[in-house]
């Protein structure tokens, strides 16, 4: 969780600044584009049952990681604000697919201490965000957002695939449900 937050938020924090530098967008337009992250979250909420039934937990984490990788790659090489809008929406969808799978498993690791697990999980998010945004500032200031987004496009899918492999190894991958089963 710490790593996901450091990588993901360390790059996402600079989407607005990058849009302003590369495309000279107004801050209102930037706010609308960055706000499409929430649209991606709504797409996730509307499709989560379908996604879990189709991919299982391990596949959902991989789906989220691949989508995040493609979206950050689009931000790194994309030449228009319209592409950035699609990419940010995809980041919202991919983030929730990966993040919620991580969160679900973190709270299931120690059912007898679920509150402690959630507290540690939350702390890891905030500490990871702090470190990631700080490190991202150094990269952004020296090299622009392109290498930051490109690195994130590689790192988040790698994390997702590693996590999915761990889920499969421990038999916690979930999976497609039969017709009679429900989530």
pLDDT tens digits, one per residue of 47-92: 999 999 999 999 999 999 999 999 999 999 988 999 999 999 999 9
Rg of the Cα atoms in the chain: 17
Q: What is the pTM of this model?
A: 0.90
Beta-carbon contacts of 68 under 8 Å, excluding residues fewer than 6 positions away, are: 8, 90, 91, 94, 95, 98, 152, 153, 156, 157, 160
pLDDT at 173: 55
The domains found in the chain, sorted by start residue, are 2-168 (1.20.1250.20)
pLDDT tens digits, one per residue of 8-37: 999 999 999 999 999 999 999 999 999 999
Helix-helix angle 114-143:145-169, to 10 degrees? 150
86-95 burial code (b ≥16 CB/10 A, e <16):
bbbbbbbbbb
d(CA 179, CA 13): 42
Q: Which of 94, 98, 96 has its CA nearest to residue 167?
A: 98
For residues 66 and 108, the model is more confident at: 66
User: Tokens 């009679």 sit at which residue?
Assistant: 180
What the block records as the tokens of 77 is 């090489």
pLDDT at 176: 41
Residue 45 CA, distance from chain mean position: 14
């Amino acid at each position: 969780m710490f790593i996901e937050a450091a990588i993901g938020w360390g790059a996402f924090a600079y989407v607005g600044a990058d849009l302003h530098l590369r495309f000279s967008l107004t801050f209102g337009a930037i706010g609308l584009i960055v706000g499409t992250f929430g649209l991606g979250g709504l797409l996730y909420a509307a499709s989560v049952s379908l996604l879990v039934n189709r991919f299982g937990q391990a596949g959902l984490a991989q789906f989220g990681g691949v989508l995040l990788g493609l979206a950050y790659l689009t931000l790194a090489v994309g030449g228009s604000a319209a592409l950035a809008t699609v990419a940010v929406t995809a980041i919202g969808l991919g983030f929730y697919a990966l993040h919620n799978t991580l969160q679900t498993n973190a709270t299931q690791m120690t059912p007898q201490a679920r509150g402690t697990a959630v507290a540690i999980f939350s702390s890891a998010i905030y500490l990871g965000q702090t470190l990631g945004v700080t490190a991202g500032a150094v990269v952004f200031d020296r090299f622009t957002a392109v290498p930051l987004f490109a690195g994130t496009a590689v790192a988040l899918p790698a994390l997702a695939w590693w996590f999915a492999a761990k889920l499969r190894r421990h038999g916690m991958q979930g999976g497609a449900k039969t017709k009679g089963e429900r989530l």
